[in-house]
Structure 1
Amino acid sequence: MQASVLSFYQAYHHVLWEEGHHKRNVFQFLFEIQTVIEKYSIEKLDDGLVDRLISYYREKGNSNATINRKLAALYKLLRKAERSGLITRLPSYVRLPEKNARVRFLTREEERFLLPRLEERDKSYKNLCIFLIDTGARVGEALGLKHGDVHNGRATFWITKSGRSRTVPLTDRAVCALADQGRQPGGPFHGVAYQKFLYHWNAVKRDMGLKDDPQFVPHMLRHTCASRLVQAGIDLRRVQTFLGHQTIQMTLRYAHLATDDLDQCVIALDRVNAKNERPDSHKHNGKTKPGAAAAGRRRSAGKRHPAPAD
């Protein structure tokens, strides 16, 4: 009997994934996996399937990061199937190493060009972008935000990639962007259709002369938030929490932007050196430091027992 990933999806999709952009991507991933299963007449959901999928994706030119995302969707589904007794064991899979690719973020000049032109098309597009830049939210998290999730100048994202909710404080302009959206049914950005937003994003992207930049996508606004936090001197652990990264390794992609922090190291060392060079630096808690006392004893001994003249 041929394995059916889509039958598992039909049984459990309403439990495993919230409706939205991410769930649509998951369905596309699983549909592609089912196509591979049928193409190669794969009978079992075992290690052989994983090996075949990795080979197939690499032949397509998918990066390790893309392969990991697709297989993560499969594994989430298979774990549920295993707990339900539909399969006896999960296939083994070691997450493929991912390269730290160049992180693209929005410059201030690009932001000044992008936002007004999106507003000309629909003010909701501008407000969405401001919200994404200033909260670091993923597009799906922002679109799924409900009015009740915003309270006392903070926004709580319940539908996240990691499955863990997080709450972040809002900047003044993020608050204004939400207020400008009014009380739309459901949530501030529930009226924004992602595909339509992406169409207008790409139109403005062409106007900016960036048609051939594959990294100029809405997700880069999340990178923009991270980069600005790091450049402002916020430590990486706080940035990790703000963005909801599961591991610090994900946040370390932005570490190179904090090069100015190294200046603080030099300032600290100069301060220590200056303190050690002060005339009273040999004093330690009101007492003479051991090293200074020993040096003093040596000097005194030299005076009591002068060396013979040549």
Structure 2
Amino acid sequence: MMTTEAIQEGEPSDHFSMFSSQNSKIQYSYNKIREVKSYRVGELFLAYRDILWDDGRHKYNVSSFIGEIDELLLGERFSAFDQSTLDNLIGTLRQRGNSNATINRKMAALSKLLRKAHKMGDIHSLPEFRRQKERAGRIRFLERDEEARLFAAIKSRSEDAYRLSVFLVDSGCRLGEALGLIWNDIQEHRVSFWITKSGRSRTIPMTERVKEVIKLPATEGRRPKGPFTKLSQAQYRAIWNDAKAEVGLGADDQVVPHILRHTCASRLVQGGIDIRRVQMWLGHQTLSMTMRYAHLATNDLDGCVVVLETPRPAQPDSAAENPLPSSSAAKQEAKTEPVAAKISSRATRKGSKS
């Protein structure tokens, strides 16, 4: 029997630690009890930010989101993140004027961080994160003449930025996906994206002008790692902003590099490509993300107009004179024939008597 002293000192007795029989053998092991600690959201972010998010603009935005959340929680330490804390946090963000779409982005960052902390044993309970309903906003995309003017202004500033712009609008990829390409990702007429937001790789064919812009001009020196690795996101965005201001689009806050992805998707849908294929092309994780462009598939509805505008077949003149349907008229005619026959027979008998 295990003594009290053995339990207190953590010394397992032979009888308790192992039970043997002819058919089974059960062995118990003892783990040390882990101390429950409390953390601030900001501390958890510092611990896991480099594991959960790659360097870049998205990581910068997440850092801003988490910093705001830590501020709203007044730096409170916790070992369990309960539902009431989350609900109060969402309510405060909404009072600050945050839209549901903005709240969803901030809660996505918080959820990812807390799930990692829970998995690592830093916190021992999680709330239920529910996505807020978002309104379908208007999607801005470039017209052909806007693209021509903008790209010309970009080309006058940087040939590399121009080549990247053409690649983005024809491939529909994200800016980070293009900048992360290496030469091994390009094979014959196709390009593969391995570093993606959804974590799923995809391969798409290239247009003719994409095949041209991925070719680097002949220069002296060492060949770069990929077709667009000479540029950083910050450099490209600076060139983009200068160019869009030159062509009169500076006041349009939707004309950002990501508009090239919207433009590609819009052109695919307007060209008659079905939504499922557009989803595969863009690498959307869910079809609902691609459905934002479904309203542009107006060609699919053209057949409805043809049906509605087709004239109805004209009614024959006889049908207009006889209000009864053809089947009803036939029945009425069948009923009157015996009566007429009877009248005719009576008239014949009277004539013979006279």
State the TM-score bracket (shorter-chain normalisation).
Answer: 0.7 to 0.9
**How far apart are 1:149 and its partner, in Å?**
1.6
Instruction: Kindly indicate whether the alpha-carbon contact (under 8 Å) linking 1:18 and 1:159 is maintained by their aligned counterparts in 2.
Output: no
| Superposition deviation, residue 266 in structure 1 | 5.9
1:110 pairs with 2:146: yes
RMSD of equivalent CA atoms: 3.2
* Mapping 1:234-253, distance limit 5 Å: 234-253=273-292
- Contact 2:40/2:75 (8 A) holds in 1: no
Is the alpha carbon distance of 1:33 and 1:231 closer, same or farther for their aligned partners in structure 2, counting shifts above 3 Å? same
Matched, 1:156 2:192: yes
Task: State whether residues 42 and 49 of structure 1, in contact with CA within 8 Å, keep that contact through their aligned partners in structure 2.
Answer: no
CA distance, structure 2, for counterparts of residue 58 and residue 265 of structure 1: 42
Alignment-derived partner of residue 294 in structure 2: 255
Find the partner of 2:98 among 59, 62, 76.
62
State how 1:30-109 maps to structure 2 within 5 Å.
30-37=66-73, 39=74, 41=76, 43=78, 45-109=81-145
Q: 1:40, CA displacement in angstroms?
A: 5.7
| Deviations 1:212-238, CA, capped at 9 Å, x for gaps | 211111111110000000010000111
In structure 1, C-alpha distance between the alignment counterparts of 2:226 and 2:64, rounded to whole Å: 26
Equivalent pair of 1:184/1:190 in contact (CA under 8 Å): no
Q: Which residue of 1 aligns with 2:258?
A: 219
C-alpha distance 14-186 of structure 1, shift in aligned 2 (>3 A): farther
Match of 1:7 in 2: 43
The answer to whether the Cα contact below 8 Å between 1:133 and 1:224 also exists between their aligned partners in 2 is yes
Counterpart mapping for 1:83-232 below 5 A:
83-180=119-216, 184-232=223-271
Give aligned pairs, total: 284
Pair 1:40–1:13, CA change in 2 (3 A)? closer
Query: Counterpart amino acid of 2:90?
Result: I
1:286 aligned partner:
none
Moved more, 72-81 or 98-107: 72-81
Distance of 1:184 and 1:266 partners within structure 2:
56
Higher mean C-alpha displacement, 251-260 vs 215-224: 251-260
Give the structure with higher Rg (CA): 2
Secondary structure at the residue paired with 1:73? helix
| 1:255 partner letter | A
CA distance in 2, matches of 1:92, 1:262: 40
What SS does the aligned partner of 2:203 have? Answer: strand
* In structure 2, C-alpha distance between the alignment counterparts of 1:180 and 1:220, rounded to whole Å: 25
Identify unmatched segments of 5+ residues in structure 1. Answer: 274-297
Whole-Å separation in 2 of the counterparts to 1:164 and 1:53: 32
Q: 1:137 to 1:51 in 2, by over 3 A?
A: same
Deviations 1:271-309 (A, max 9, x none): xx9xxxxxxxxxxxxxxxxxxxxxxxx9xx99xx99738
Partners of 2:149 and 2:132 lie apart in 1 by: 38
Equivalent residue letter for 1:107: E
Deviates more, 1:135-144 or 1:203-212: 203-212
CA contact (8 A) 1:147 1:188 kept: yes
Q: SS at 1:141's partner residue?
A: helix
C-alpha separation in 2, matches of 1:78 and 1:264 = 50
Residue identity matched to 1:243: L
TM-score (norm 2): 0.71
- For the 8 Å contact 1:21–1:140, the answer to whether it is kept is no
Q: Which position in structure 1 is the counterpart of 2:54?
A: 18
Distance (Å, rounded) in 2 between the aligned partners of 1:95 and 1:70: 11
Give the Cα separation in 1 of the matches to 2:53 and 2:100: 23
Aligned with 2:128: secondary structure? coil
- Provide the rounded CA distance (Å) in 1 between the counterparts of 2:243 and 2:293: 27
Which residue does 2:337 correspond to in 1? 308
Report the more deviating stretch, 117-126 or 9-18: 9-18
Larger mean Cα displacement after TM superposition, 75-84 or 233-242: 75-84
Tell me the alpha carbon deviations over residues 88-113 of structure 1, each in whole angstroms, 9 at most, x when there is no partner.
12222211111110000011010110
Change (3 A) 1:36 1:116: same
* Kept in 2: contact 1:184–1:191 (CA 8 A): no
Q: 1:177 to 1:94 in 2, by over 3 A?
A: same
Secondary structure, aligned partner of 1:167: strand
Amino acid at match of 1:79: R
Letter of the 2:244 partner, please give it: K
By relative contact order (CA 8 Å, sep 6+), the higher-ranking structure is 1
Structure 1 length-normalised TM: 0.80
Structure 1 CA distance, aligned partners of 2:95 and 2:247?
33
* Counterpart Cα distance in 1 of 2:229 and 2:68: 28
